[in-house]
Amino acid sequence: MSKAPLAPYPALRLRRLRQADWTRRLVRESVLTPSDFIWSMVVHEGEGRIPVPSMPGVERLSVAECAKAAKEARALGIPAIAVFPHIDAEKKDALGEQAADPDGVVCRAVKAMKDAAPEVGIMCDVALDPFTDHGHDGVIEGGRILNDATIERLVAQGLVQAEAGCDILAPSDMMDGRVAALRGALEGAGHQDVMIMSYAAKYASAFYGPYREAIGSGKLGTGSVDNPADKKTYQMDSANTEEALREVALDITEGADMVMVKPGMPYLDIVRRVVEAFAMPTFAFQVSGEYAMIMAAAGNGWLDEERAILESLGAFKRAGCAGVITYFAPRAARLLGA
């Protein structure tokens, strides 16, 4: 907010401060550094690295490659990695049982990354969708996603992640009451230092499209004859903003240490309101579709790729974010000179 009364033109010429790089740097209001990034990473159960076609430059990584990537994050000054699993289709079931497997690919990746680079924070998605054959984030009964039955599974999942050495649990399911349940379970199991970053205001969004390909969960969740449940029954309506404040308030009272808005760029108005209303460490997720849009336009020569990456990430800082979860993290850190 502008506090000073403005001198009239020509005493005030706003362009004076824009005339050289040094003046622009001197008066810059927000700064983007590698410390602002949480690197969004997909781990798979096989060997090596597998490109994700709809996300040029993003690959699914084996557990061993994740460990190397953790060292890379450390070298680049990226504070944390968020890990998302790609699970073989035959291991999925209606309840997402694999989500709570202590020997599953997420827990193995967490251990490998913490061994390789203990200084890098590891965040795990607490959600069932990579593990369910229907692609939903919850247990379904009669076409409805059951809230409380889902929470029980999320708690089991969160506990094995914490046991594996995960530093931050990030519930992305949007069930009511899951933050309190996770916090209680963590305290009860002696994991009082494990943090919770809640996907507090998470919207039902078309921008998650490429992620579904990346984790192999198909184009589900829109409500169809075969699969009547709809992600819109748990994720937020994109038209709403007052409701976002209620969601965030709820998660803070339940014990969230940090809150997140998702998707990112189309929801910066929500970020700003959350920052102003709660003054909590607030993050945004620059999701797969946002990544794909920039890369597709740049691939066609319609955008300057490097400038678009940094400008898009800088927008989150300008909006008041403490940091941003992004697939661009290593690339952007290098562009920033890391």
User: By CB under 6 A, is residue 287 in contact with ligand PBG?
Assistant: yes
Kindly tell me which of 64 and 204 has the beta carbon lying closer to ligand PBG: 204
Kindly tell me which of 174 and 194 has the beta carbon lying closer to ligand PBG: 174
User: By CB under 6 A, is residue 288 in contact with ligand PBG?
Assistant: yes
Kindly tell me which of 74 and 209 has the beta carbon lying closer to ligand PBG: 209
Q: Which stretch binds ligand PBG (CB under 6 A): 97-105, 112-120, 122-130, 242-250?
A: 122-130
User: By CB under 6 A, is residue 194 in contact with ligand PBG?
Assistant: no
How far apart CA 290 and CA 293 sit, in angstroms, is 5
Question: Minimum distance between the CB of residue 291 and ligand PBG, rounded to whole angstroms?
Answer: 7
Q: Which stretch binds ligand PBG (CB under 6 A): 64-72, 123-131, 176-184, 189-197?
A: 123-131
Distant-in-sequence, close-in-space partners of 193: CB < 8 Å, separation ≥ 6: none
Return the structure tokens found at 331.
């690339």
Distant-in-sequence, close-in-space partners of 335: CB < 8 Å, separation ≥ 6: 306, 309, 310
Which listed residue (137, 167, 247, 254) binds ligand PBG by CB under 6 A? 137
Question: Minimum distance between the CB of residue 288 and ligand PBG, rounded to whole angstroms?
Answer: 3
How far apart CA 333 and CA 310 sit, in angstroms, is 10
How far apart CA 152 and CA 226 sit, in angstroms, is 26
In order of 16, 43, 98, 156, 338, the CA distances from 126 in angstroms are: 50, 15, 12, 10, 31
Question: Minimum distance between the CB of residue 311 and ligand PBG, rounded to whole angstroms?
Answer: 19
User: By CB under 6 A, is residue 150 in contact with ligand PBG?
Assistant: no
Question: Minimum distance between the CB of residue 188 and ligand PBG, rounded to whole angstroms?
Answer: 24
Q: Which of residues 8-67 bind ligand PBG (CB under 6 A)?
A: none
Which residue type sits at 115? D
Instruction: Write out the H or E segment, with its range, that includes residue 92.
Output: none
Distant-in-sequence, close-in-space partners of 319: CB < 8 Å, separation ≥ 6: 268, 271, 272, 275, 284
Which listed residue (37, 39, 203, 211) binds ligand PBG by CB under 6 A? 211
Kindly tell me which of 31 and 206 has the beta carbon lying closer to ligand PBG: 206
CB 251 within 8 A of CB 178: no
User: By CB under 6 A, is residue 316 in contact with ligand PBG?
Assistant: no
Residue 232 annotated among the catalytic residues of the structure: no
3-state secondary structure 268-318: HHHHHHHHHHHCCCEEEEECHHHHHHHHHHHHCCCCCHHHHHHHHHHHHHH
Binding footprint of ligand PBG on the chain (CB under 6 A): 125, 127, 129, 137, 172-173, 208, 211, 221, 231, 287-288
Residues marked active site are found at 202, 262
